[in-house]
Amino acid sequence: MVSTAVTIAKSPYLQEDPGAGIFRVHRSVYRDPSIFDAERERIWGRAWLYLGHASEVPEPGDFKLRTIGGRELVFLRDVHGRVRAFLNACPHRGTAVCREPAGNAKRLRCFYHAWTFDTEGRLVSLPSPEAYPVGDAFRERLGLRPVARLEVLHDFVFISYATSGPDLDSYLGEAADYIGLVADHSDTGMRVVPGEQRYSSRANWKLGVENAMDGYHFAPSHVTFLEYLKRTGFTTSEGGRGRILSNGHVLGIQSGHSGRAGFDWEPRFGEAERSRIEENRARLFARMDAERAALIADYSRTLFMFPNLLLFDIEGVSIRLLEPVEPGLTRISAFALAPRDEPPEALDVRLKVLTSFIGPGGLATPDDLEAQEGIQRAIASTATDPRPGVDWNDVSRGMASEAAGEPLRSIDEGRVRAFWRHWATMMEEPEE
Amino acid sequence: MMEDVTERPIALDAVTRTDVEDFLYEEAALLSGWRWDDWLALFVPGARYEIPTFDGEAYSGRVAQYFIADDWDLLQARIIRMKSKQAHAENPPSHTSRLLGNVRHWPTDDGAVAVRANFVVHRMRDGLLDPYVGRYEHELVVSDGGLRFRLRRAVLLTESVRPGTRLSFIL
Ligand code: FES
């Protein structure tokens, strides 16, 4: 079912007139520091945010430092096996408790005055405790500060800095089903493969969202990648659908766009993979109904979960995390997700195929970065132009067919509009 | 991997540090000069080009996600792309200045030369100057034409690919 309900955006930064086929985004949303600060509060302070995959901290005591929504967190698995996230600022006088990017620890000790916390965040020892008020209340008050809420869905770990608001299930809505499809790639579970691609773009985070949700740029921007695929003997098919989900989450669906590691052979996977893929497909179809198995094996999907997760279920599975640093600077992390039991030769093919496209060294992503950084740089030139309409981006492609209730095409900009409508809602709602 | 090249057995003391340095300096000049065919001729067929990720460095490219894990096919595809006017990320091309130092080398058990060298590559583009700091971990073989790469690996030491930079050129 394709959602055709269109809410007219009410925002000083959006202009929408479906009858006239107008949808514009004011360029200050990419530049203005006061909008960036407001986003920190209204979006990043209230939404559910993707933190990481539980397989990144597989053993009790495993931890990773990760900055989400501008706050540095210790993402860890406690000694009882539960995944947790704490603000990395010491409850005493605020220095960074954890200074290693990753590791394993039974205790976290702040070096400044040697307060020591267990993996559940309790303050378990401090030098000369007799100098503090007698009793446990003091210690209990000064444990590591956990994030307000944390929930795990199919090993995808989400956090929220808001103490109230919808729970994760109602926040995700149907987006949860698409995360479920990825989790179902293997009956042995999925894991993040070592090797986080950490990079950044000198561009606003929302340009990263727009780029991933816009199939329009694909052919002109990635012509060298398409030529490479063609030379390997693979013909890409045109077409692809978009879906608008709830809460600003959107989805792109394609078939025959590329092969799929483990499920759908293409020539550059190599002959050896052909029979393994056949077996793997048979295994998949044997453990679930054919309709679901076909959804998993034959379709590529890109899910955007508002505001910081892009889940590419394409040639391979790539998790992309967007982290705004400044209006014109975004930190990006890309993780490869693979079946736990995937044999090394198959994993080799998966990583090669994924990296050929994705990341700052791929044959395609650098062109996306070029486009986004170019926007960030170039829109300074229209910022003070007095003429109406000059300092606006046009995002109207496909509005006519959208209004006629036709299914969304991935080469239209309907998903980008859905993102902006939700962004405007989040930004305009009065604070709770 | 290297069946198709004529290799002469390495006399372990025949390859000097000057040979290695000359090779690396010449390579740097080809890269800064955007001379892709001459650069690709410095590889034996079957060679690899790799840039590990920061936490993937301890693993091989076959069990960890790298930034770049090009086998011979992908390396050739990369060079076809570099030459295209439609490789937008490098059109117009960036300019690089490449400083190499601390060059060491030793023979490997399987008849190659392991090379370690530090690099500081400055990339200029869009009015910006970005440093890339790291070390090379190459494996060279001796062919009739001189030293050749069978593995060209650049290990970045900057904790992340620095703000706004990318690996769309050859590091
Ligand atoms: S700031 Fe951490 S112990 Fe004092």
Amino acid at position A60, single letter: P
Q: Look at A42-46, A49-53, A158-162, A400-404 and tell me which has the smallest mean pLDDT.
A: A400-404
The closest-lying atom of ligand 1 relative to the alpha carbon of residue A110 is 2
Amino acid at position A334, single letter: A
Cα–Cα distances (Å) from A263 to A278, A284, A297, A300, B74, in that order, read 7, 9, 5, 11, 22
Among all residues of chain B, which has the CA nearest to that of A367? B89
Return the higher-pLDDT residue of A134 and B53.
Answer: B53
Would you identify the CATH topology of the domain B5-156? Answer: Nuclear Transport Factor 2; Chain: A, (3.10.450)
Q: Look at A179-193, A254-268, A315-329, B47-61 and tell me which has the smallest mean pLDDT.
A: A254-268
Q: What average pLDDT does this structure show over A197-218?
A: 94
**CA A94 to ligand 1 centroid distance, Å:** 6
Q: Look at A250-264, A388-402, B26-40, B44-58 and tell me which has the smallest mean pLDDT.
A: A250-264
**Contacts with A, B 40-59, CB within 8 Å:** 51-56, 58-59
Name chain A contacts of B73, Cβ cutoff 8 Å. 232, 268
Homologous superfamily of the A173-385+399-428 domain (CATH) = Naphthalene 1,2-dioxygenase Alpha Subunit; Chain A, domain 1 (3.90.380.10)
Ranges in chain B, pLDDT < 70: 1-13
Burial B154-164 (b: 16+ CB within 10 A, else e): bbbeeebbbbb
Q: Touching check for A193 and chain B: CB below 8 Å?
A: yes
Nearest CB neighbour to A352, from listed B51, B69, B84: B69
Residue A6 banded pLDDT, cuts 50, 70, 90: low
Nearest CB neighbour to B89, from listed A102, A334, A369: A369
Mean of pLDDT over chain A: 93
3-class state of residue A266 by DSSP: coil
pLDDT of A5 higher than 70: no
Q: Touching check for A378 and chain B: CB below 8 Å?
A: no
**CA A81 to ligand 1 centroid distance, Å:** 26
Alpha helices in A62-174 (DSSP H): 137-141, 168-172
**Contacts with A, B 76-95, CB within 8 Å:** 77-78, 80-81, 84, 86-90
The pLDDT score that the predictor gives to residue B101 is 97
Express the helix, strand and coil content of chain B in percent, nearest 5 each.
Answer: 20, 40, 40
The closest-lying atom of ligand 1 relative to the alpha carbon of residue A113 is 3
Cross-chain residue pair A196–B163, CB shorter than 8 Å = no
For residue B66, give how far its alpha carbon lies from the nearest alpha carbon of chain A (Å).
6
pLDDT of A7 higher than 70: no
3-class state of residue A299 by DSSP: strand
Q: Whose CA is nearest to atom 4 of ligand 1?
A: A113
Residues with CB under 6 A from ligand 1: A 90, 92-95, 110, 112-113, 115
Q: Any idea where the domains of chain B sit in the sequence?
A: 5-156
* Chosen from B49, B88, B165 to mutate, greatest number of chain A CBs within 10 A: B88
Give the CATH class of A49-160: mainly beta
Q: Which residue, A8, A30, A367, is CA-closest to A203?
A: A30
The pLDDT score that the predictor gives to residue A4 is 42
The CB density around residue A1, as the number of other CB atoms within 10 Å, is 6
Q: Whose CA is nearest to atom 3 of ligand 1?
A: A113
Cα–Cα distances (Å) from A18 to A25, A214, A395, A417, in that order, read 14, 19, 12, 11
Q: Any idea where the domains of chain A sit in the sequence?
A: 49-160, 173-385+399-428
pLDDT of A134 higher than 80: no
Q: Touching check for A360 and chain B: CB below 8 Å?
A: yes
- Tokens matching residue A181: 């499809």
Cross-chain residue pair A196–B64, CB shorter than 8 Å = no
Q: Which conformational region is residue A234 in: left (phi greater than 0), alpha (psi within -120 to 50 degrees), or beta? A: beta
Interface size A-B, in CB pairs within 8 Å, comes to: 133
pLDDT of A432 higher than 80: no
